[in-house]
Amino acid sequence: MGKYTLRRLIQMVPVVLGVTFLIYAMVYALPGDPTAGKCGERPCSPAYVAEFRETYNLNDPLPVQYAKYLGKVVQGDFGESQYGQPIREELAERFTVTLRLGVVALVFEAVIGLLAGVLAALRRGGFFDSLVLISTLFVIAIPVFVTGRALQLYLGVKAGIFPSTSSFDATWYELLLPGFVLGSTSLAYLARLMRTNLADNLGADYVRTAHAKGLPGRRVIGIHALRNSLIPVITFIGYDFGALLGGAVITEGIFNVPGIGQYVFRAINDRDGQVVVGTVTALVLVFLIANLIVDLLYAYLDPRISHD
């Protein structure tokens, strides 16, 4: 297990380098003057433009720019935004909020999605199974911004059950509604995936053999069928956690959550390349670590899988 973990960590290095270089190249290859709009309605002075280009190494060739940027990142320095704020501090503060939002979404996704999928598989062809299939298809078909606005209006503004917007502190209670909205589509996919996998395993030969040997139904379903059905589900959850953190732009915008999504969206509008590249780098690292954890869980769920 230790050798496998070390090997996966080494494999992450070229992935991080490749992704960050592509993002860096695309951000700074955008057409237009990067100093446009930085001085209000008037054009920036030549002295400001020269200082700006020198600060962000824009006078150097692209590989040299990236090498200088990467050298600072390795030391933990993500640079400063165009407003003079350290990006590392902004990321640390906002990433905590987005991480809490992602955890809330993941809890809704795992608890409701797994429970609905298991019950639908156990009652395959019945009323509850049809209800799960229809309701999840309905959730998948509706865009997230429609679901978010509707729940914000009816549960937040009119009913007052949940806060309609988040404060700067973004408490756990304030993140319940946006967390459910963020995880709603994934919840629907997870329920359908769990239902299909468990239903297939319940009809497998090893399950019939376990019943024939006289094992209790709860043990056959809970230990054998359910455990094997969780392998693709865990894969989906692990990959989806990274996607939730990076795809929270719309949800954070609707509920005014001061997280990573809102931060990078504003940076894109302001053409703040340092913020965009730094944020993407942090999200890539989180995504790769989540995938590594998922791969390590395989050996626990299925002893046949070895990482030696």
Structural domains in the chain (count): 1
Residue 209 belongs to what domain range? 87-258+288-301
What is residue 191's predicted lDDT score, i.e. its pLDDT? Answer: 92
Rounded Cα–Cα distance for residues 101 and 289 (Å): 18
* Residue 168 tokens, joined: 């700067």
Residue 73 lies in a domain: no
What CATH number does the domain containing 153 carry?
A: 1.10.3720.10
Among 13, 233, 232, residue whose Cα is nearest residue 114: 233
What is the average pLDDT value for the chain, to the nearest integer? 82
Determine if the pTM surpasses 0.85: no
Evaluate if residue 300 carries a pLDDT over 80.
no
Task: Express each pLDDT in 177-210 by its tens digit.
Answer: 999 999 999 999 999 999 988 888 887 777 777 7
Query: Among 35-44, 151-160, 279-288, which stretch is predicted with the lowest mean pLDDT?
Result: 35-44
Contact between 140 and 132 (Cβ < 8 Å) = no
Residue 281 lies in a domain: no
Residue 34 lies in a domain: no
Give the SS3 label for residue 86: strand
Residue 8 lies in a domain: no
Residue 39 lies in a domain: no
